[in-house]
Structures are given as structure tokens and as C-alpha cells.
């Protein structure tokens, strides 16, 4: 009787007659999920990256809206002062909007009291799906009732 050594994974098992029996280490499906943890990790990292990008984009748009609001307010106030002083309000508003990295989209003189100046300032956002933010502001004299 010759000895047969099983050269399979695991240890060699013997049957009742002493012969080496091949031992199965698992089915084909047991090895089908190799690397699935890596793919789940990659998917999780991608999800976190997308969420961080969305949060950064929202924060960037919020900051740009605040800058546009400030530029519009300053442009409207400057235009109202220029109107009161006899200057060209829309030229002053355009200068102030440009100084704050904006663009004067519209300028209207008049309104309820007749001396109000309404400006609309547009500001580039550098975001593909929302290329610019436009904000409107109004300024003018307030009647003094004694």
C-alpha cells in the first residue's frame, strides 16, 4: 500500500481504509465575493467626495450671494447720494458694482417717492449650473416728518 499525500488546501484527511480524501475548502461561490470590501470602500469614498463637493458648492454660492448683496446695497446707496448731489446715479452705481467684481445689470431712477434708485448687480459664481447671481437693491431719501 503506497501512501498518497493530499496536496490541497488544508490538512489531509483519511477515510476508514486509510486512504487520503480530498477535502473541499469551499464552493465556487465562497470565492466570488473576493474584493467586494474594496469596492464597498471605493463606493463609500466616492459618496463622501460627492457630498463634500455639494457642500462646498453650496457654501461658495452662499458667499457669492452675500458679496452680490453687499455690492448691490453699496451701488444703490452711492447712486442715491449721487442723485441727491446732482451727479449721474447709474454711472456711479456701475463704478461701485465693478469695484466689487460685479456687473450693473440694470439701473432705474424714480420709484414711489420719485428720487429712489433701484439697481440690479450680477456677480459671476464660477459654478457651471449657476453662472451668475443677480441681486436687486433700492435706496433713496426718506422724508423727515418732524
Q: Tell me, yes or no, whether 48 lies in a domain.
A: yes
Q: Tell me, yes or no, whether 132 lies in a domain.
A: yes
Q: Tell me, yes or no, whether 83 lies in a domain.
A: yes
Between 43 and 140, name the one with better pLDDT.
43
Contact 130, 58 (CB under 8 A): no
Classify 48 in phi/psi space as left (phi over 0), alpha (psi -120 to 50) or beta.
Answer: alpha
Q: Tell me, yes or no, whether 29 lies in a domain.
A: no
Q: Tell me, yes or no, whether 67 lies in a domain.
A: yes
User: Can you give the pLDDT at residue 12?
Assistant: 60
Q: Which candidate, 69, 72, 68, places its Cα nearest to that of 131?
A: 68
- Which of the four pLDDT bands, split at 50, 70 and 90, describes residue 15? confident
Query: pLDDT tens digits, residue range 69-100?
Result: 999 999 999 999 998 888 899 999 999 999 99
Q: Tell me, yes or no, whether 6 lies in a domain.
A: no
Q: Tell me, yes or no, whether 122 lies in a domain.
A: yes
The interaxial angle of helices 36-85 and 89-99, nearest 10 deg, is 150
List the domain range (segments joined by +) for residue 58: 37-139
Q: How many domains does the chain have?
A: 1
Q: Tell me, yes or no, whether 12 lies in a domain.
A: no
pTM greater than 0.85 (yes/no): no
User: Can you give the pLDDT at residue 26?
Assistant: 58
| Cα distance between residue 9 and residue 137, in whole Å | 78
Amino acid at each position: 500500500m503506497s501512501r498518497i499525500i493530499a496536496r490541497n488546501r488544508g490538512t489531509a484527511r483519511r477515510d476508514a481504509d486509510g486512504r487520503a480524501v480530498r477535502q473541499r475548502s469551499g464552493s465556487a461561490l465562497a470565492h466570488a465575493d473576493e474584493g467586494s470590501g474594496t469596492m464597498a470602500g471605493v463606493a463609500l469614498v466616492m459618496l463622501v467626495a460627492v457630498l463634500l463637493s455639494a457642500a462646498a458648492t453650496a457654501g461658495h454660492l452662499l458667499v457669492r450671494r452675500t458679496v452680490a448683496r453687499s455690492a448691490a446695497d453699496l451701488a444703490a446707496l452711492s447712486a442715491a447720494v449721487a442723485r441727491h448731489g446732482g451727479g449721474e446715479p447709474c454711472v456711479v452705481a456701475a463704478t461701485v458694482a465693478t469695484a466689487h467684481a460685479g456687473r450693473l445689470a440694470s439701473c432705474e431712477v424714480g420709484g414711489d417717492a420719485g428720487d429712489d434708485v433701484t439697481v440690479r448687480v450680477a456677480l459671476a459664481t464660477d459654478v457651471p449650473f449657476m453662472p451668475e447671481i443677480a441681486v436687486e437693491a433700492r435706496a433713496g431719501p426718506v422724508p423727515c416728518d418732524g
